[in-house]
Structure 1
Amino acid sequence: MGMLSDYHLHSDFSADSQEKPENQILQGIKLGLKHMCFTDHVDYDYPLDEIFEFDMEEYFNTLNALKEKYKDQIEVHIGVELGLQPHLQERYDRLLSSYPFDFVIGSSHVVKGFDPYYGEYYEGRTEYEAYHEYFEYVLENIMAFDNFDVYGHIDYVVRYGPNKNADYSYEKYSDIIDRILQKLIEKGKGIELNTAGFKYGLGHPNPTEKIIEKYRELGGKIITIGSDGHKTEHLGYDFEKVPNILKTSGFNYYNVFKNRKIETILLDS
Structure 2
Amino acid sequence: MEDITMLLSDSHIHTMFSSDSEENPVNVVNNAISLGFKHICFTDHNDFDAPLEDGKVMFNLDFPEYIKYFQNLKESYKNKINIHIGVEQGLMRSVADRVNSYDSAKQLDFIIGSSHLVYGEDPYYPEFWEKRSTKDTVLTYYESILDNLGCCHNFDVYGHLDYIARYIPANSYAYDWHDFDDLINTILKTIIEKGKGIEINTAGLKYGMPEPNPCLDIVKIYHNLGGEIITVGSDAHEVKFFAYRFDVVSDMLKNAGFNYYTIFNERKPEFIRL
- TM-score, normalised via structure 2 length: 0.94
Q: Answer yes or no: is 1:213 the counterpart of 2:220.
A: yes
Q: Deviations over 1:33-57 (max 9, x none)?
A: 1111011000010122342112211
Paired residue for 2:40? Answer: 36
SS in 1 for 2:102: helix
Give the ranges of 4+ consecutive aligned residues of structure 1 lying more than 6 Å apart after TM superposition.
none
**Structure 1 residue matching 2:103: 3-state secondary structure:** helix
Mapping for residues 115-126 of structure 1, pairs under 5 Å: 115-126=122-133
The amino acid across from 1:84 in the alignment is L
Tell me the equivalent position of 1:259.
266
Tell me, in whole angstroms, the C-alpha distance in 2 between the residues paired with 1:263 and 1:124: 43
Native 8 Å contact 2:134 2:173 kept in 1: no
- State the match for 1:4 in structure 2: 8
Aligned to 2:64: 57
In the alignment, is residue 127 of structure 1 matched against residue 134 of structure 2? yes
Aligned residue pair count: 267
Return the alpha-carbon distance in structure 1 between the equivalents of residues 154 and 202 of structure 2: 24
Deviation at 1:128, TM superposition (A): 0.7
Does structure 1 retain, via aligned residues, the 8 Å contact 2:156–2:196? yes
Amino acid at match of 1:265: I
TM-score (norm 1): 0.96
Q: How far apart in 1 are the matches of 2:132 and 2:117?
A: 17
Query: What's the CA shift for 1:166?
Result: 7.2
- Give the whole-Å Cα distance in 2 for the aligned partners of 1:157 and 1:177: 13
CA contact (8 A) 2:51 2:58 kept: no
Residue in structure 2 matched with residue 79 of structure 1 by the alignment: 86
Alignment of 1:177-196 (within 5 A): 177-196=184-203
Shift of 1:124: 3.1
Tell me which amino acid in the other structure corresponds to 1:75.
N
Sequence identity (%): 48
CA distance in 2, matches of 1:174, 1:156: 15
Counterparts of 1:48-197 in structure 2, within 5 Å, are 48-49=52-53, 50-163=57-170, 167-197=174-204
* Equivalent position to 1:22, from 22, 26, 34: 26
Alpha-carbon distance between aligned partners in 2 of 1:95 and 1:164, rounded to the nearest angstrom: 40
Shift of 1:138: 0.7
CA RMSD for the aligned pairs? Answer: 1.5
Unaligned runs of 5+ in 1: none
Instruction: State the 1:165 CA deviation.
Output: 10
Q: 1:11 to 1:189 in 2, by over 3 A?
A: same
The code of the aligned residue for 2:29 comes to I
Change (3 A) 1:38 1:164: farther
For 1:252, the aligned partner's letter is N
Aligned partner letter, 2:99: Y
